Amino acid sequence: MTKVKVYVTLRESVVDPQGIAAQEALQTMGFDEVESVRIGRLIELELAEQPLKSKHV
């Protein structure tokens, strides 16, 4: 079995309102060194044993 991790994130040019809210919350809790936060998703897939070709979208 092959495990694949896919990270889904917004482009740098797109405003991330969840990231901004998390950054502000962290700074409110005293973590002033946090300069930016980006929120994304991690998708983990388990595939049957077969040769895989890497594809970037």
What residue segments make up the domains of the chain, in order of their start? 2-47
Give me the tens of pLDDT residue by residue for the chain, a chain 57 residues long: 889 999 999 998 999 999 999 999 999 999 999 999 999 999 999 988 766 566 666
Q: 2-47 has which fold?
A: Mth169; Chain: A , (3.30.1280)
SS (H, E, C) the chain: CEEEEEEECCCCCCCCHHHHHHHHHHHHCCCCCCCCCCCCEEEEEEECCCCCCCCCC
